[in-house]
Amino acid sequence: MFFQFPLTRIRICCIFFNNIMDNQTTPLLISDSFRFSCSSELKCFNECCRNLNQFLTPYDILRLKKNIGLSSTKFLEKFTTQHIGPETGLPVISLKFDYSSALICPFVTPDGCSVYEDRPSSCRTYPLARLVSRSRETGKVTEYFTIIKEGHCHGLNSEYTQTVKDWIKNQGVEVYNKMNDLLLEIISLKNQLIPGMLDLKSRHIFHMALYDLDVFRTHVFEKGLLKDYDIDPKTMDSVKKNEEKLLELGFKWVKQELFSDY
């Protein structure tokens, strides 16, 4: 099971489905409706942007570094920290916070989020959490949703209702989910085929192709990283012009490099 929490708080590392479905959450189907509305007029405005341990997916990083106008390398150096996930054994990127200011997101301002158009998927999904399972036999992805009920959030008392499906569409979450499910596939294969921590070379491959995308581009187009791969020129031209396509290629390359011997 893969959990895409809204603003992921510091939690116990091993969380199971039954633990999540407690009295703090409400399970929802894609067609179900829920009450929620957020604005700067609420007393809790910006409260969901503090006391965080915010994990970033590869697509989150792609969007944020473009918004800020930094290379992926500079963005990672300035705004993030890295550790190895205790459950996956894979490199995990987290936002770097100011520990003297209640772990406030570095992109929040008194007027709200300064990178709102490219905010991470967990921020977009809030107050929902997306729970995803992927069948090892068929590869089929099944998704579930919950409402995360946090005491500070007054938006949950709103009379405004919408379906989960409409919320996902209106918040622009669909493309994030699509790209994040590619990460889910890597995690699923890793857990199935390579239990434990990856070796140093494999961690470098994962980090470069998925997190440090500008370095990956340099290796692909200037250092001949994929010269032995049979990729048609039309695809490579598309990859050169479109960073989302480049990231998709990164996922494919990571799968090939990490799991081709299994």
* pLDDT tens digits along 10-38: 222 222 333 344 445 678 999 999 999 99
Same domain, 35 and 163: yes
- Whether the pLDDT of residue 106 is over 70: the answer is yes
Same domain, 73 and 203: no
Same domain, 112 and 240: no
- Answer whether 44's CB lies under 8 Å from 152's CB: yes
Strands 91-95 and 55-56, sheet pairing: antiparallel
Same domain, 175 and 201: no
Domain final residue, candidates 128, 163, 180: 180
- Answer whether 29's CB lies under 8 Å from 164's CB: yes
- Answer whether 258's CB lies under 8 Å from 201's CB: no
Same domain, 75 and 127: yes
**Single pTM value for the model:** 0.88
Number of domains making up the chain: 2
* pLDDT tens digits along 210-245: 999 999 999 999 999 999 898 999 999 999 999 999
Same domain, 137 and 9: yes
What are the backbone dihedrals phi and psi of residue 26, each rounded to the nearest 5 degrees, phi first? Answer: -130, 120
Same domain, 36 and 90: yes
Distance CA(44)–CA(9), nearest Å, equals 17
- Answer whether 45's CB lies under 8 Å from 171's CB: no
Element spanning 254, H or E:
helix 243-259
Same domain, 21 and 94: yes
Q: Which domain holds residue 146?
A: 2-180
Domain final residue, candidates 148, 180, 212: 180
Same domain, 21 and 122: yes
